[in-house]
Amino acid sequence: MPSSDSADPRSPAPPPPESPSSGDGRERSGGTRRGFALLVAAGLLWGTSGLAGHGLQAAGVTVSAVACYRLLVAGAVIGGFLALSGRLARLPRTRPLMVRLLVNGLLHAVFQYCYFASLTLIPVGLATLVKIGSVPVFVAAGICLAARRAPAARLVVSVLLAVSGLALLIGFPATGASAADLALGMACALGAGLTFSVMTLVNRTPVAGLDPLANAGLGLLVGGLLLAPAGLAAGMAVPLEPAPLGLLLYLALVPTVLAYLAYFGGVSRASDAGAAVGTIAEPLTAALLSMALLGEDMTPIGAVGAVLLAAAMGTDYAAGVLHRRRRRRAARRRAPR
């Protein structure tokens, strides 16, 4: 009689154990999808900030004050939560963590200052085109330089679609600015795009002990403190009325707190193409909201640009789906019969 430990030859063979690499691959692909989705969510939320900022400026709040309050209030809200929950006390005081927070704070301050400075020199549409349109190019170049390799076709296609779509959506507005103001305004807008791109590249590498909540909140708070002198010099007065105060709270909580939580939660997980173009949902959202709430019209060329922007974001997702299908087919072919 065969022992109980021997296998019955008539019974089907047990399925082969899943290889660790295949499980890791699924985890990586799932994390990449979540990272890209978080970046798109951040872009959608950022797209609502223009209307809030426009309302505050119409109420007489200076652009420097808008930028400063945005960072300070958002940073204070997250920092207060971290302190009350005890997470701030448990945050490790390591050198890499402190350096990352200081770098992010400086980048926040420079980005806000450069962008709002560009708005005082050149039209909003042109400043937005240069700022957002330069980000995919800067990020793609930074990724390739860091890896010392040529850009993948997936990355090139996504960036080209993003820049072309943005140019068609916003257009090339005429400017009555002098040559000096035009050059300085373009430089400020490019500086804003470069600063945001550096933030994206820096935060693709996580720091031990620094989660997205602490990274966003403390970085925003540092940035707000750095912007405070410029805000005080320009004037920080806000009308004590429900509408301006409500807009200020909305600007700080929704397109800043929530958006940057999504951004820092996704930037280290997304693919190269996802990191480059994920946040371009911002101008698409802003354009649609302007149509719905301000009565602005979208030209046929602008509609083509909107489609190209959506295609740029869809390219990364579609390429990821095809890659996962190829991996599954290859795994099935390698499986023992």
How crowded is residue 52: how many other Cβ atoms within 10 Å of its Cβ?
Answer: 21
- Residue in 154, 162, 114 with CA at minimum distance from that of residue 312: 162
Length of the chain: 337
Contacts of 53 (CB under 8 A, 6+ apart): 63, 66, 251
For the segment 259-311, what is each residue's pLDDT rounded down to a tens digit? 999 999 998 888 777 777 777 777 778 777 777 776 767 778 878 888 888 88
d(CA 258, CA 244): 20
Tokens of 27: 């985890």
Of 40-49, 72-81, 191-200, 271-280, least confident by mean pLDDT is 271-280
321 confidence band (pLDDT: 50, 70, 90): low
Amino acid 1: pLDDT: 44
Q: Tell me the CA distances in angstroms from 76 to 106, 171, 254, one per residue in order.
A: 17, 37, 14
d(CA 261, CA 38): 9
pTM given for the model? 0.77
d(CA 202, CA 317): 23
Between 179-202 and 95-119, two packed helices, what is the crossing angle to 10 degrees?
160
191 confidence band (pLDDT: 50, 70, 90): very high
Q: Answer whether 102's CB lies under 8 Å from 89's CB.
A: no
Amino acid 3: pLDDT: 45
Distance of CA 28 to the CA centre of its chain: 20
Amino acid 175: pLDDT: 62
Amino acid 335: pLDDT: 67
- Residue in 107, 101, 111, 108 with CA at minimum distance from that of residue 215: 101
Of 77-81, 86-90, 127-131, 234-238, least confident by mean pLDDT is 127-131
Between 281-294 and 153-170, two packed helices, what is the crossing angle to 10 degrees?
20
Q: In this structure, what are the phi and psi dihedrals at residue 288, rounded to the nearest 5 degrees? A: -65, -40
Can you tell me which residue has the tokens 């405070």? 228
For the segment 219-262, what is each residue's pLDDT rounded down to a tens digit? 999 999 999 998 999 899 999 999 999 999 999 999 999 999 99
For the segment 146-162, what is each residue's pLDDT rounded down to a tens digit? 888 887 777 788 788 88
Give one DSSP letter per residue of 31-93, joined into a string: HHHHHHHHHHHHHHHHTTHHHHHHHHHHTT--HHHHHHHHHHHHHHHHHHHHHHHTHHHHS--
Amino acid 90: pLDDT: 93
Give the 3-state secondary structure of residue 100.
helix
Q: Answer whether 35's CB lies under 8 Å from 267's CB.
A: yes
Higher-confidence residue of 33 and 212: namely: 212
Amino acid 10: pLDDT: 47
Amino acid 223: pLDDT: 96
- Residue in 28, 78, 44, 51 with CA at minimum distance from that of residue 261: 78
Amino acid 19: pLDDT: 43
d(CA 84, CA 216): 17
33 confidence band (pLDDT: 50, 70, 90): confident
What is the residue extent of each domain of the chain?
Answer: 32-203+211-327
Amino acid 317: pLDDT: 62
